[in-house]
Amino acid sequence: MPEEIDKVGNVSQSRYEEIVAELRDVVEKEKYGQFTIGDRALEIEPMRERGGFVTVDPQWSVAASLQRLADDIGKTASTVKSMRWTASRWPEEHRHQAAASFTVYRILASIEDERERFAAIAAPPPGRARWTVDDASRRTGQKVETPVSPQEKITAIHSLAQDDQVAAAITGDLLKRPQVAAKVTSEDKARVVEEFTRDEAVAAKAATHLLRRPDVAFKAMSDDTARFQVNHAQNERHRQSREHFEDTSPVAPVVRKMERSAEFLDLVTACHSFVAAAGRTVPGLRDRQLDADEADLVHQNVARVRATLDWIEQAVDTGKVDMDDELARLLRSE
């Protein structure tokens, strides 16, 4: 049992350490070779200041020279350019002061300040005997291969989700996890819902489901704009349904006739109600003297009633229900 615990993969711990020692020597030799390629590329095409100009044969531009070198040694031009740039950032005396791979040197080469850069390569992170690629990436703020911290994992997810289809799939899967959804802020949830409901069909379905929840419907109707939109939608739906009925139903003419009869009955009922109410109320004024303000108020209302009766007669006799501005003001008690 102890032997199995000490194994790394399919080899023992001692054999693993032998392999590591062997490969570190290989990596060191590889580093020397890569720096050598970078130095020779620098010899062919020295680094120039940004915007610098050197008079050369047009066919031997930097890109052309490095491309030819890359082709002749079996490397890609981008690899040769990277080695050239890395070599330019590390003078010979700073290339062997730390047991680090060429990849680590290349990553730390992005540190602008020379003193900081040279000090960094000689000082691995606390608890480390040597630099790892991820440690170097963390030191320079680059994306790591194996995310550890929450921010590194977030960065990795963002990188993977550059494709819209991938992002959509990830979002759908994550929002299915209640623990994840619970940690999303209310503002972000509202923003997500708004984005998802830009499609009219989705918005209609979501609104229908939400308004079936009494507490949601109550809070939504507390908003004046929302309440107005709901009322407007109800009226619009009623209007559209009515138009559809009148355009398509064979019984629509009969219904319209009945509606006109209903309007006639409503008008007769209104007149009857007024007469009946007056018949009950006026006798109560017997032996009662109204003061000037009360009498004036009654006269104003009598004038409104008289104007309304004239309007009714006009509508009955001519079919016109329009009212002039004076009548409108009178009925509004202005």
pLDDT tens digits for range 160-186: 656 767 666 666 666 667 776 677 777
Q: 126-157: per-residue pLDDT in tens?
A: 988 889 999 999 999 888 888 777 776 666 66
Least-confidence region, from 102-106, 167-171, 294-298: 167-171
Q: Where are the domains of the chain?
A: 2-144, 147-183, 184-248, 289-334
- The DSSP letter of residue 53 is -
Chain mean pLDDT for the chain: 80
> CA 302 to CA 330: how far, in whole Å?
11
Q: Whole-model pTM above 0.85?
A: no
What percentage of residues in the chain have a pLDDT greater than 90? 28
What per-residue string of b and e applies to 37-58 under the rule 16 or more CB within 10 Å gives b?
Answer: bbeebeeebeeeeeeeeeeeee
Per-residue confidence band for 84, with pLDDT thresholds at 50, 70 and 90: very high
Spatial CA neighbour of 66 closest among 79, 53, 49: 79
> Which helix H or strand E contains 70, and what residues bound it?
helix 62-73
| DSSP structure class, residue 283 | G
- Name every residue whose Cβ is closer than 8 Å to that of residue 322 and which is 6 or more positions away in sequence: none
pLDDT of residue 298 exceeding 90, the answer is: no
Number of alpha helices (DSSP H) and beta strands (DSSP E) in the chain: 17, 0
| Tokens representing residue 5 in the block | 């615990």
Determine the pLDDT at residue 2.
Answer: 47
The runs of H, that is alpha helices, within 149-249 are 150-160, 164-175, 178-183, 186-196, 200-211, 214-221, 224-248
Please tell me the distance from the alpha carbon of residue 221 to that of residue 228, in angstroms, as a whole number: 9
Non-local (6+) Cβ contacts of 19 within 8 A are: 11
What average pLDDT score do residues 188-206 get?
72
What pLDDT does residue 262 have? 64
Lowest mean per-residue pLDDT among 17-31, 165-179, 264-278? 165-179
Q: How far apart are the first and last CA of the chain?
A: 102
The closest alpha carbon to 80, from 95, 59, 65, 96, belongs to 65
Six-digit token pair at 6? 């000490």
Specify the range with the lowest mean pLDDT, choosing from 108-117, 160-169, 202-211, 269-278. Answer: 160-169
Q: Of 127, 122, 117, whose CA–CA distance to 97 is shortest?
A: 122
